[in-house]
Amino acid sequence: MADVAARVGVSRQLVSLVMSDRPGPSARTRQRVLRAAEEVGYRADRTARLLRRARSRQIGVLFTMEHPLDVHLVEAVYPAAAELDYGVVLSALLSTRGERESIDDLLGLRCEALILIGLSAAAPAHLATIAAQVPVVEIGQRTGGEGTDSVRTADADGARQAVDHLVGQGHRAIAHVDAGELPGAPERRRGYTDAMRAHGLGGHVEVIGGDYSEESGARAARALLTRDRPPTAVVASNDRCALGLVETLVRAGVRVPEDVAVVGYDDSRTARLSFLDLTSVRQDAGRMAGLAVACAAERLDEGRTTNRHVVLEPTLVVRGSTGPPRSDAD
């Protein structure tokens, strides 16, 4: 800052006013100071500025780097936070970096609230401890931590919509590749099973174990390829799983959707790829992120103390990966 002041011939205090975007300096002086700062490569120390403020107005976001939906959510958090005059600090969950370490990093950076994306279901006790210090909002699930808020999609209803769509096209033998106990998976499995039974297809219920990865879809496809009469349709746990499933089936000469119809979940950018054209259950990432930020701001700025749990309705987006079964199929 002293270098910029000397270069322009003004006081250091005046440079501080310009860099903090505070009133006082004229427009011409601002331009000169900003030009000089650019020339000497000066950048304001955001950490020092935060330390001088009574409030940081920073929201910490914990996310994974595995799922496309997480990326959509992080992208949507930024404009939602900016609209309410909050900044965003990111902390990634990795195989070598657990939840506690990642959350502790965000708290150490003076984040006033936490938005947690893709948290494991085994953390409610720890969450209650954190929620006693700062507002905590979960996206994508509700683990039940005391004092936390959540924003999620009605996953059971999403799976039901997928089954209803396939049954409406004439399918009866419909399998589901699930994701075990990962967030949202038990609800999707329940929605699939309940919908099949509601259509009188309880005898065709088949849950194939998997997860939210392309490889789990590929494994399921390889298992189906060993059968004389595989199911005519599959509801995948998510779009990544559906991609692995479709890729493996097509490589083996199985046509999608003529031989096997496939439905994904999330309606991520993967589903919209022209060569995949995947029918998928849509989760509204923009709305979920906006509601999560609003939940945090309500606690911080309005003093809300009651818990808030928002459940959004999913919608099925129909594309080219589904169609009627072959006439010779059951």
pLDDT tens-digit readout, 82-101: 999 999 999 887 777 777 78
Whole-angstrom CA distances from 267 to 143, 156, 282 are: 24, 16, 5
Predicted confidence at residue 93, as pLDDT, reads 79
Q: Report residue 330's pLDDT band, with 50, 70 and 90 as the boundaries.
A: very low
Q: Report residue 149's pLDDT band, with 50, 70 and 90 as the boundaries.
A: very high
Predicted confidence at residue 53, as pLDDT, reads 53
Predicted confidence at residue 221, as pLDDT, reads 97
Predicted confidence at residue 120, as pLDDT, reads 58
At 265, which amino acid appears?
Y
pLDDT at 267 over 50: yes
Q: In the predicted model, what is the mean pLDDT of residues 290-300?
A: 96
Predicted confidence at residue 44, as pLDDT, reads 65
